[in-house]
Amino acid sequence: MERAAFLLKVREDKMEEYKQKHTEIWPEMLDALQRHGWRNYSLFLAEDGQMFGYVEAEESIAKSIEGMAGEEVNLRWQEFMGEYFEQLSGRPDQSMVSLEQVFYLE
């Protein structure tokens, strides 16, 4: 298992919509995430749109991201959600700023 964290920036004018979309995540997207080892996956959103994501990948985050890249539902979700983010360099899942873990207390 690997813990991973990342940042993205949600457009301030789209924050409420973004939150609403996450109450309606497609069941097939949730299934794909689980099939590819995404566990304990959480998203946190600050008032300025800064989003922090945390996930525990079953094997590795690289393997989990690679698996999702081959899922048609993920490609549709990324396209659907792309309008909610600032400063993308490709799809949202290709634009995440990875954070280095510097401390862990179990």
Active site residue ranges: 22
Spatial distance between the Cα atoms of 93 and 64, rounded to a whole number of angstroms:
11
Spatial distance between the Cα atoms of 53 and 64, rounded to a whole number of angstroms:
14
Which residues, listed in sequence order, are joined to residue 86 by a DSSP beta bridge?
9
- Determine contact, residues 60/74, Cβ cutoff 8 Å: no
In a 3-state reduction of DSSP, which class is residue 45? strand
